[in-house]
Structure 1
Amino acid sequence: MLTTPTRRRHNSLPGSSPIPTSPIQPSPAGPSTVAMSLTLPPLSSDGIIPTSPLVGSREERKAHAIEKGRRKRIATMADKKVASAEESEVNKLALFDEILGDLSSQGVSFGELMLYVFDPAQGNGSVRWDGFFKHEGLATQVLDHWVSNKNSVTAREEVGAWAEAYIAERMREEARGITESKTLQTGDAAIDHDYITNFSMRSIGTYIGNTARVSMKMLAAFATSARNFKANVAQRAAKRFTIVTSAALSLLGEFSHKNNFSRRIMGLYLYATGAQRQTISVMSHLGISESYQNLTHKPRVMINRPKIEKLQRNIKPGTLQELSGSMRDFARVVASTGLFAASYDNINLVFRAAEQVMGRTDSQENGTCATIFPLWKAAAENMKIADLDSAFDSAPPLSMDDILLTAAETEVMDKCLRHCILRIIVDHGGEHFKKFCDNVDGSLPVTADKIETHKTPLHALPAWNIDQSTIIANAEVADAIYTELEVRGLGHWKWIVKILCGDQLTIARLRSLLNIRAGHEGGYSGFGWGVWMPGLFHGKIADMHGFFVTHWGVPHRGTRNPGSLFFHNTQLHRSPILLTSLPPFRVCRDLVFVSLYSRILHCLLLVSGKKSLAECAESIKSFAELESYAALIHTKYANAELVSKLRWDRQMAQGTGGVPPGDEIFENASLLLRDALISREFTDSIKAGDSGRIVLVLKLLALSFRGNGRSKYAYEMLHLIHNLTHVWPKPIRDIVLNNWLVNPTGNPFSWVEVDLMQEHMNFWIKTIYHAHGSAASWEWLGMVAPCVTALRHLSTSIINILGSDQGTKHAPPDLSTDIELLMNSLTEHEVYQIKGRVFAEGDGSPTPDVITVGIQQLTDSASNPLTEYNAAFLKLQARRRLRPLVSSWSDTDIAAAAANISSPSTTLPPAPSAATAIPSNDVVMSEPDEDSGSENGSQGSADWGADLDAELLTAFERTVDEADEATLTRNNADDVALDMDGGDSGFVFAGADLYDDPELAGFLPDDMENLDNGDDY
């Protein structure tokens, strides 16, 4: 038995001392001690080694000892297991070596053994499963060893080649499966509205990811580096998801040209954004878009001529052609209910020839585009022609009481104008006034006729080569609209009211058709079935034109007329303006409104007694105080009654000597502020969709148009007010008030005028979607016009998914510098202070109060526009009571009416019988400035002389040659922008941003953690 050091410590050797137990009590040194110390292990501590104290009862100490023994036994058993496992591993390796040696000795390779085991034909399934695949991860370890750097290059290359071939085949199978599913194919799919709106890159990517898991994982790994783990992982993952999906779509399109869904969508998008043919062709060669030929080619029939018989094979039309046909069909479905309105306007453009040769020259083309939209809150039983005729027959004449605001309406109007002042202060007064935003929004006046917020679907119709500037052309346009919509054979066609919308000229021409044919023709050709809904945008243009004529001032008088619009234009260093050649509408509007904002804020400082807007905002402790300031501004500085009193006092004081009462600069500035506030309120009430507020403004415009020389629009306002008050039945009146504005987005405060919407449509057709060069034709415009709304929607959707709009959408301009400059000018020249100033000769003149002038013109004489209007209306009532010579709605008579419309010069109306003779005092009810002579725009005395008396012919001759009133032009996108305050020149559609989708934050390869820290290219 060996003696351990511990056992030797208890033995005593001759001549030695006991072994010390601690260095604290050393023993005397001696030879034996030194020898003994050399045989003992060194002590591990220089001090007392602490141990657990013996605490607790006897039972506790016993339990502790038992637990200590158990832990020791467990440790001993673990050591034995490790030793046993090591021994087993050694034995296993020895066995493997023995087996390999036996195989080698028998002349059999290890590879042959593996082939035998893993070949399914040998029937060793249980062996393969129990011995290999049952153990998860074993196959992965083997493959990892095969491609390990410690393996030979030849082995790694062979395994890699197999893996490449295997993955390639898997990806090919996945591509084949997607192709056979036809999910991405459009061969049998209809290219319609749903085809456009259902496009979603996220949905497509999710589908491909679930169907082609291997392919998408390979592409994602190819696009991913370790740097993607850093900042903005979610956004980068979303972007990478889109890129990988795009790559997969391009590859699938190359696998089979039938997988062309995304290519057709991208082709439409490129066309929708104005891409030229070359750009689309390049994108086609890159596999992103379809070819320009497939996008635009026309449907045709190919004829093969075999020896025996002719065979015909239809060739499918291009994508645009298919989309156009589908959109036209969809419009017909909307129109089939009868509950729709149609808007149309002229479109003017130039077809340019590439080279000026014989037969190929530039040509100015004038045509018409139209759009329909479903009516909101309309029912067929409320749109009966019989009810419209009955209401017209019993309607009283228009009176001044119908035009002038009542006391209650005046109170509402004052409240609206004061709230307009509050909006200007909060929007343009700086950050200090933003604290009142919620108060201003909550106090917005609302009338009972406010339109409920909803989205208005728009359905464009083909463009027609019809110049609608003449009366007969408007009849042709109406006939073209209803022919296109295929509604004439429907059951409600004969008795339901049809609503047509347009600008002042369009409405005047339609009304002239009714006036000319009343008592002669009934049914469809008599045009008594229509409600003509006016476009408010052109009224806004006329208001701005009249504003400039009234408040422009005398040019080049400098500080002698510091309150004029001309002086403000000069102060802002903007382009010079001539009244004889006014700039586009948007330029005029922006100048008027920035001048208005500066005047309101300047007057705020006057009524508050503060020197700066920041000081004023800090001093205002409550919204009620701000409201009182707005009321003071309206009462003191936009008060036409005060201006009238000052002018009257000055007139009475003439010749008395001394300083004359009043101040002509102050008076002109006050009227400018009043008129500008009305224009701003008109704009805001339209954006809010409050028809009640709009009607109040229109009553004021009926007077101001008369006062500033816009006689056509003044006459149009008489018609509109009369229709709303007496002529239209209440259900039809409500339908008009609910539908003379449209909302393309469905958002609050996004309402636009119907005629502005049509101008906007026409602009996109003219500038973006028309063909170029020899392809430009009315056939092409007729094809592409119905696609406008779908293409704009697609463009917006793609922009929302893949990026931001860098085109026509921009931030609202910062007017703070302009406003501050004009405020300083108003302060310096004391424009809104009464100083007794009178214009010298040539420096200016008192600005007329256009509303008062309008009242005077309507009431001062026995023969005034109002009495003439009522006389014409009463005579038209009498004529419509007569039995018309043609009154049937049969298809035969409709076809005959259409034939008459197409060739008016060769078809004369039948002579009236004695029972239906026209009274000798009949005249056409039309404004003296309107073209209402004959249907073809000429006097036509030879054709109509047999039927019309001398008075009617005189009215025709007086009106037909009158030139149109001058108007402000619309030259670019800003002039027809749907939101001129927000800086958006196109349709705005709500859409989710793909990059903000949290569901895509995890689009990362499963083995991202194994990537090295490579560069992100």
Structure 2
Amino acid sequence: LHQDIRKSTGQVRYRISEARSQSKQLVVVSALVSCLSEHSRQNNIFKRIYGLYLYACGAQRQVVTILNHVGIAESYAGLTAKATNKTLEQKRKSGTLTQLSESMRKEARILGATAVFGQVYDNINFAEKVAEQTIGKTTTIENGTCATIWPLHNASLEDMKLKDFAKSFDAARPLKLEDIDHTTEEARLFKQCLQHCILRIIVTHGGEGFKKFESKLRETLPTTPQQISLHKTPLHPLPAMKIDESTIVGNAEVDEAIVEELQLKNNPTFMEHVRIIAGDQLSIDRLRSISRLRAGHVGGYAGFGWGVWMPGLFHGKMADMHGFFVTHWGKPQCGTRNPGSLNYHNTLLRHLPITVTSLPNFRTCRDLVFVSLYARVLHCLLQVSGYPSLSVYVKRVDSWDTLERHAQDILSKYANPSLCHELRQNRIDDEASGDMVFENAVLFLRDALISREFTDSIKSGDSGRVLLVLKLWAYAFRGSGRTKYAHEMLMLIHNIKNVWPPKITEIVLNNWLLNPTGKANSFVEVDLVQEHMNFWIKTFYKAHGTNSSWEWLAVISPCVDALRRLASTMKKVIGTDIGTRHAPPDLTRDIKVLMKSLDDHRVYSVVAGRRLDDDDPPVVDIISEGMAKTWGESVIADFNRGFVKLQERRRMRPVVGAANTSNSPHLTHPQHSPPSSNHSSPAPSLSRQSESLADPFEDDVGDAACGEDEDDLLRLHESSETEENEEETLTLSSLDDVALDMDNVEEVVDDMDNEDDLDDDETGLYSLSLDHLVSI
């Protein structure tokens, strides 16, 4: 039939092109497939794929129904149907989406059976709106949890023995200040990293003339032995759970639900190996609270002493940006009296007004800070070189060594906090000395460079460079008032330095950054991956109206990644992908405006006696301030006191459950009789445990955890738990806030925007799901 079409008079006359011929062939094949599907339902595989594609792209039910009636796609009912088995005559098979969901869940269980997997979870919140309110039907806020697992990179069961983990914990020494501070070698390496960060900004944002240095820029990138090797991370989303993980009880219930979903209890060596769990600061802190409260009282699975708690770096980045904004925002309406403040730069760029008490979303704050940083670096480049403009600089400078020397000068002259401290000391001795504008500008450049270096080190997958920043953040978070994140940094540093066995430390450093695309410079934080999943689940694939339910959310959530890859692959295969990605935003005009302002107001020149308004205090050096608080407020002593008490508790024989049992994930409560050997009993309810925010290492709290007044103790501290555990943070309100690559602006994130992505090695998870679909 296709050959007859090609040989028709019209086709011969107009000399049909090869591309047009292939397009016609696709039409003929599609028509034949539609006819075959009408002949027999056994031939409906392509209809099912088209139906999944339409659903993955967000097509409405009406569109799917129309295309079904003309024989192109599967019916909407066929996509979403649930299996029924009322009678033999009325038995109904499950729909394509349900079958795909079961297939994805099966793959996750296969991975779970290996025990070599990581786990991340996060809360998912959305408003369930009702157009017309009736009794029992009003707009509500739904709270639940979504989770994802992935195979651990460069890990083996031999490296994850619980026995070795417990032994290392028991022998761990307390935390020392030397563990937090950079060593001489680390300080030298970090200085190189900041210099290279300046070079990256110059080459990337300086204009076309600086592209000649790109090869040298790649060659001179500092690396550490903790660089993660390039690989692709398969993701396995789990069914959404209607469990509120905002409490300690909720976090325990979430893990119990994941254990049940993955059927981990069936593994006879379940309690012989640690499990690596990641999440935001609040989730990790509450998991840690469970293990502290139950230490010495409950063993086995219910004791939670088997967990390696891996903090989410993306939420640390959010906390850093929030603290940065509050520190460097400046006085509102200060105008040119504080020309180096973020507030003034936001006004210059004609962005929407911002108030510190109600900050905008994360991406808005991040973009403003970084565009200000780029302008400052390029302005300082002209300052140290003496050239009038970047165009003149590019013409005169051809040597990479010269550019490197200028980057070193920028770091030493305009991002050196010692200069700031010296000027402030001079002003104490003589009020006519010092320069508040310059002092603030120096601290801004130092702090912003650290934030940008953290972002770049994550993208490159260099865990060693990430750790260098986290050590500074252990002080900076305390100096900016983010005390819970400061404590989290201390916990992480102590675990890496002293508590975790070397093999487990290596596993963590290889797996707290994932690479869903398998491409270079595309690593992302594990908690950002989950936030990204949550966005698609609650804004794109969640059902609306009467069809919206947690049961449906549990069906669709395991399919999210597969559906997105299916949509991308269909566009590529059929050859109709018009693209959904924007080019990176052109910051040229913004940078020029800010550079001109910096030059006009001599922000990076010392003007003796220049002062700010009396109600506009100088910017705090958050790192020095954090150091002083860490050293002078017994922070380390209190931290070590709690750790030593926890060690002592874990040496005690548990009242309930063995310290390390191999096949008993669920244990009885001490008030209950032992379970029969044929049934697994539930873990002790945390409602019978203290969730006190008092020191969990104190003996009275620990004893109360097994006493008769646990419920009263829980109620007593229930209200204070929310206040103490929640710190203000930036919001995630759009796709841009959770984009996997925030240096590009994108409407729909497409991980497969090159033709090379259609190779077998690149299609990964989608190829797997399509194979399952064909087998179904």
| Rounded Cα–Cα distance in structure 1 between residues aligned with 2:637 and 2:709 | 30
Please give the secondary structure, in 1, of the residue aligned with 2:130: coil
| Rounded Cα–Cα distance in structure 1 between residues aligned with 2:530 and 2:210 | 37
Residues 528-573 of structure 1: per-residue CA shift (max 9 Å, x gap) = 0110111100000000000000000001011000000000000000
Residues 471-499 of structure 1: per-residue CA shift (max 9 Å, x gap) = 01111111111110011121220211111
Aligned residue for 2:149? 372
Superposition map of 1:309-320 within 5 A: 311=88, 314-320=91-97
* Higher RCO (C-alpha 8 Å, min separation 6): 2
Matched, 1:896 2:668: yes
Please give the secondary structure, in 1, of the residue aligned with 2:42: coil
Aligned residue for 1:327? 104
Bigger radius of gyration: 1
Aligned residue for 2:308? 531
Kindly tell me: are residues 994 and 398 of structure 1, through their superposed partners in 2, closer, same or farther at Cα, counting changes over 3 Å? closer
- Mapped contact 2:122–2:146 kept (Cα < 8 A): yes
Aligned residue for 1:337? 114
Residues 83-128 of structure 1: per-residue CA shift (max 9 Å, x gap) = xxxxxxxxxxxxxxxxxxxxxxxxxxxxxxxxxxxxxxxxxxxxxx
Aligned residue for 1:873? 643
Q: CA deviation at 1:369?
A: 0.4
Please give the secondary structure, in 2, of the residue aligned with 1:436: helix
Aligned residue for 2:673? none
Aligned residue for 1:742? 514
Matched, 1:944 2:710: yes
Aligned residue for 1:971? 733
Q: CA deviation at 1:733?
A: 0.1
Residues 191-235 of structure 1: per-residue CA shift (max 9 Å, x gap) = xxxxxxxxxxxxxxxxxxxxxxxx3334656897357647xx344
Q: CA deviation at 1:868?
A: 1.2
Q: CA deviation at 1:942?
A: 6.5
Q: CA deviation at 1:442?
A: 0.8
| Rounded Cα–Cα distance in structure 1 between residues aligned with 2:13 and 2:506 | 62
| Rounded Cα–Cα distance in structure 1 between residues aligned with 2:450 and 2:289 | 31
Q: CA deviation at 1:941?
A: 9.3
Q: How many residues are treated as equivalent by the alignment? A: 742
Superposition map of 1:431-450 within 5 A: 431-450=208-227
- Mapped contact 2:297–2:706 kept (Cα < 8 A): no
Kindly tell me: are residues 736 and 890 of structure 1, through their superposed partners in 2, closer, same or farther at Cα, counting changes over 3 Å? closer
Superposition map of 1:419-818 within 5 A: 419-654=196-431, 660-802=432-574, 809-818=581-590
Aligned residue for 2:672? none
1:823 equivalent among 570, 588, 595: 595
Q: CA deviation at 1:621?
A: 2.2
Aligned residue for 1:859? 631
Residues 954-1013 of structure 1: per-residue CA shift (max 9 Å, x gap) = 9999756426111000001000000011234525036638999xxxxxxxxxxxxxxxxx
Q: CA deviation at 1:389?
A: 0.8
Aligned residue for 1:403? 180
- Mapped contact 1:939–1:960 kept (Cα < 8 A): no
Residues 876-897 of structure 1: per-residue CA shift (max 9 Å, x gap) = 1111111111233376671536
- Mapped contact 1:650–1:662 kept (Cα < 8 A): yes
Matched, 1:217 2:3: yes
- Mapped contact 1:562–1:826 kept (Cα < 8 A): yes
Aligned residue for 2:128? 351
2:655 equivalent among 868, 874, 885: 885
- Mapped contact 2:668–2:684 kept (Cα < 8 A): no
Kindly tell me: are residues 239 and 902 of structure 1, through their superposed partners in 2, closer, same or farther at Cα, counting changes over 3 Å? farther
- Mapped contact 1:476–1:902 kept (Cα < 8 A): no
| Rounded Cα–Cα distance in structure 1 between residues aligned with 2:653 and 2:756 | 62
- Equivalent position amino acid for 1:836 in 2: A
| Rounded Cα–Cα distance in structure 1 between residues aligned with 2:695 and 2:537 | 40
Q: TM-score, normalised by structure 1?
A: 0.70
- Mapped contact 1:666–1:834 kept (Cα < 8 A): yes
- Equivalent position amino acid for 1:846 in 2: P
Q: CA deviation at 1:678?
A: 0.4
Q: CA deviation at 1:808?
A: 5.3
| Rounded Cα–Cα distance in structure 2 between residues aligned with 1:556 and 1:933 | 50
- Equivalent position amino acid for 2:501 in 1: P
Q: Unpaired segments of 5 or more residues in structure 2?
A: 670-679, 760-776
- Equivalent position amino acid for 1:988 in 2: D
| Rounded Cα–Cα distance in structure 2 between residues aligned with 1:995 and 1:978 | 20
Aligned residue for 1:988? 751
Q: CA deviation at 1:351?
A: 2.3
| Rounded Cα–Cα distance in structure 2 between residues aligned with 1:945 and 1:352 | 35
Query: What is the RMSD of the two structures over their aligned residues, measured on CA atoms?
Result: 2.8
Q: CA deviation at 1:519?
A: 0.6
Kindly tell me: are residues 238 and 893 of structure 1, through their superposed partners in 2, closer, same or farther at Cα, counting changes over 3 Å? closer
Aligned residue for 1:54? none
Please give the secondary structure, in 2, of the residue aligned with 1:225: helix
| Rounded Cα–Cα distance in structure 1 between residues aligned with 2:20 and 2:137 | 53
Q: CA deviation at 1:246?
A: 2.8
Kindly tell me: are residues 222 and 711 of structure 1, through their superposed partners in 2, closer, same or farther at Cα, counting changes over 3 Å? farther
Kindly tell me: are residues 238 and 628 of structure 1, through their superposed partners in 2, closer, same or farther at Cα, counting changes over 3 Å? farther
- Equivalent position amino acid for 1:251 in 2: C
Residues 791-823 of structure 1: per-residue CA shift (max 9 Å, x gap) = 111011122234566675221111111111111
Kindly tell me: are residues 806 and 546 of structure 1, through their superposed partners in 2, closer, same or farther at Cα, counting changes over 3 Å? farther
Q: CA deviation at 1:581?
A: 0.6
| Rounded Cα–Cα distance in structure 2 between residues aligned with 1:611 and 1:566 | 27
Please give the secondary structure, in 2, of the residue aligned with 1:299: coil
| Rounded Cα–Cα distance in structure 1 between residues aligned with 2:33 and 2:13 | 26
Matched, 1:962 2:729: no
- Equivalent position amino acid for 2:560 in 1: V
Please give the secondary structure, in 2, of the residue aligned with 1:494: helix
Matched, 1:292 2:76: yes
| Rounded Cα–Cα distance in structure 1 between residues aligned with 2:8 and 2:293 | 75
- Mapped contact 1:537–1:753 kept (Cα < 8 A): yes
Please give the secondary structure, in 1, of the residue aligned with 2:120: strand
| Rounded Cα–Cα distance in structure 2 between residues aligned with 1:300 and 1:350 | 30
- Mapped contact 2:479–2:624 kept (Cα < 8 A): yes
- Mapped contact 2:36–2:43 kept (Cα < 8 A): yes
| Rounded Cα–Cα distance in structure 2 between residues aligned with 1:953 and 1:474 | 18
| Rounded Cα–Cα distance in structure 1 between residues aligned with 2:19 and 2:757 | 9
Residues 716-765 of structure 1: per-residue CA shift (max 9 Å, x gap) = 10100101110100000000000001100000000000000000000000
| Rounded Cα–Cα distance in structure 2 between residues aligned with 1:934 and 1:569 | 51
Q: CA deviation at 1:903?
A: 4.9
- Equivalent position amino acid for 2:3 in 1: K
Q: CA deviation at 1:852?
A: 0.3
| Rounded Cα–Cα distance in structure 1 between residues aligned with 2:250 and 2:508 | 25
Kindly tell me: are residues 843 and 783 of structure 1, through their superposed partners in 2, closer, same or farther at Cα, counting changes over 3 Å? same
Q: CA deviation at 1:860?
A: 1.8
Aligned residue for 2:762? none
Q: CA deviation at 1:707?
A: 0.5
Q: Unpaired segments of 5 or more residues in structure 1?
A: 1-214, 304-310, 655-659, 910-921, 927-931, 997-1017
| Rounded Cα–Cα distance in structure 1 between residues aligned with 2:441 and 2:245 | 41
| Rounded Cα–Cα distance in structure 2 between residues aligned with 1:337 and 1:798 | 32
Instruction: Using the aligned pairs only, state the percent identity.
Output: 51
| Rounded Cα–Cα distance in structure 2 between residues aligned with 1:335 and 1:236 | 48
Please give the secondary structure, in 2, of the residue aligned with 1:350: strand
Q: CA deviation at 1:283?
A: 1.7
| Rounded Cα–Cα distance in structure 1 between residues aligned with 2:37 and 2:100 | 21
- Mapped contact 2:436–2:612 kept (Cα < 8 A): no
- Mapped contact 1:424–1:597 kept (Cα < 8 A): yes
Q: CA deviation at 1:789?
A: 1.3
Q: CA deviation at 1:684?
A: 0.3
Q: CA deviation at 1:254?
A: 3.1
| Rounded Cα–Cα distance in structure 1 between residues aligned with 2:14 and 2:734 | 44
Q: TM-score, normalised by structure 2?
A: 0.91
- Equivalent position amino acid for 2:79 in 1: L
